[in-house]
Amino acid sequence: MLSLFICGTAVTSQYLAEKYQVNTPMFQSFINYTLLLLVYTTMLAFRTGGDSLWQILKQRWWKYILLGVADVEANYMIVKAYQYTTLTSVQLLDCFGIPVLMALSWFILRARYRLIHFLGVAVCLLGVGTMVGADILAGRQDSEGSDVVIGDVLVLLGASLYAISNVSEEYIVKNLSRVEFLGMVGLFGTIVSGLQLAIVEHREITRIQWNWKVALLFTVFALCMFGLYSFMPVVIKVTSATSVNLGILTADLYSLFFGLFLFYYKFSGLYILSFVIIMVGFILYCSTPTLTAEPTALPQPNSTGLDNAALKLEEGESETPAITVQFTRGETVAVRTD
């Protein structure tokens, strides 16, 4: 379902760009964040107690500002990279986010992976490679981009920011709440994307030739993006951010299948093969749950006080009769030997 939501955003964005020459990724993201603000931030506003909007802002406001910036810029950098580099580079380098995500999960969420998890990731990445090969054979690499290095750097940065956002999302939905995550992302995402929109895209917005078809495409994009943001925390809570990111690798393939009819892409049997390979890797990864490392217990300080008396008596149990230690009110200690 998440892959289909992503497919919907990709197809509508491409349709807007190719048919109506509308390239406004920040404006489209702004609409999504505004919807999250209206729904989930409003829900937080009506809460009372420790999980109310005011208490959340009072305790964790700066963390959610950083999260909002990371989420907004990740979306923007990936879309912007298409102007500089090739589709192949974006598809391949975007996978860089998966090992970054696993590393962050290891250190922050204390996830511990087994051999089958690394094998599943490797198989999924092999499927992505097969998909890229199919793109090349189908002739979808017509444009080489204006500056490949800039484009590749944008993809790597965007993928890393996605990983940071997804790990933060997993931590929040498993330890706090889904509504808190979506409400805070909606609030600060709206602010950040609104400011960036006014700076970098105000001219593109004024050039849009509005009609009912363009409005419909913007609406479908916004609903798909809203659905993606609303349901992804649900899936992450019962699985993990890594498994979700492996599963949504199939989104590109769904987009390609729609592109066969909408944009007249050339079909290749490698697309089916790549889909099967990615699904096999995804099933391998999900077949065994990851482990969570327990926090290391701090050593207890040495003490000769009364709190350690019982332990010392137990150590001498083999040499002395059993001793019962009873604490009474005040500082008096009564010791009885059976």
* Residue pLDDT, tens place only, 5-32: 988 888 888 788 878 888 888 998 999 9
How many Å apart are CA 302 and CA 299, to the nearest integer? 9
CA–CA separation, 250 and 82 (whole Å): 19
Query: d(Cα 338, Cα 336) in Å, to the nearest integer?
Result: 6
pLDDT score of 314 more than 70: no
Given a cut of 70, whether residue 300 has pLDDT beyond it is no
Q: What is the pLDDT of residues 109-125, one digit of tens each?
A: 888 888 988 998 888 88
Beta bridge partners of 291: 112
Please write down the long-range contacts of 7-12, taking CB distance under 8 Å and 24 or more positions apart: 7/251, 7/254, 7/255, 7/258, 8/220, 8/221, 8/223, 8/224, 9/221, 9/224, 9/225, 9/228, 10/251, 10/252, 10/255, 11/255, 11/258, 11/259, 11/262, 12/217, 12/218, 12/220, 12/221, 12/224
Please report, as a single letter, which amino acid is at residue 337.
T
Kindly list the domain boundaries of the chain, sorted by start residue. Answer: 1-287
- What's the average model confidence in pLDDT over 281-310? 65
- Residues 257 and 271: beta-carbon distance below 8 Å: yes
What residues contact 221, with CB distance under 8 A and at least 6 apart?
8, 9, 12, 13, 16, 28, 31
Residue 135 pLDDT greater than 60, yes or no: yes
> Token pair of 59, please?
């305790």
Mean pLDDT confidence for 32-54: 90
159 and 29 in contact (C-beta within 8 Å)? no
The answer to whether 78 and 115 have CB atoms below 8 angstroms apart is no
Lowest mean pLDDT: which of 80-94, 178-192, 247-261?
A: 80-94
Low-confidence winner among 61-75, 135-149, 279-293 (lowest mean pLDDT): 135-149
In which residue are the tokens 């996830």 written? 111
More confident residue, 119 or 274: 119
Instruction: For residue 75, give the nearest of 119, 28, 36 by alpha carbon.
Output: 28
Query: Residue 147: phi, psi to the nearest 5?
Result: -155, 95
Which residues, including other chains, have CB under 8 Å from residue 327's CB and lie 6 or more apart? 306, 333
Contact 243, 286 (CB under 8 A): yes
Give the pLDDT confidence of 181-204 residue by residue, as tens digits. Answer: 999 999 999 999 999 999 988 888
Half-sphere exposure of 159 (CA within 13 A, CB side): 23
Token readout for 85 is 């580099």
Tell me which H or E stretch contains 327: strand 323-327
Q: Looking at 52-56, 81-85, 116-120, 323-327, which range is the least confident one?
A: 323-327
Q: For residue 221, is pLDDT > 70?
A: yes
The 10 Å Cβ neighbour count of residue 243 is 20
Q: Which pLDDT score, from 0 to 100, does residue 151 have? A: 76
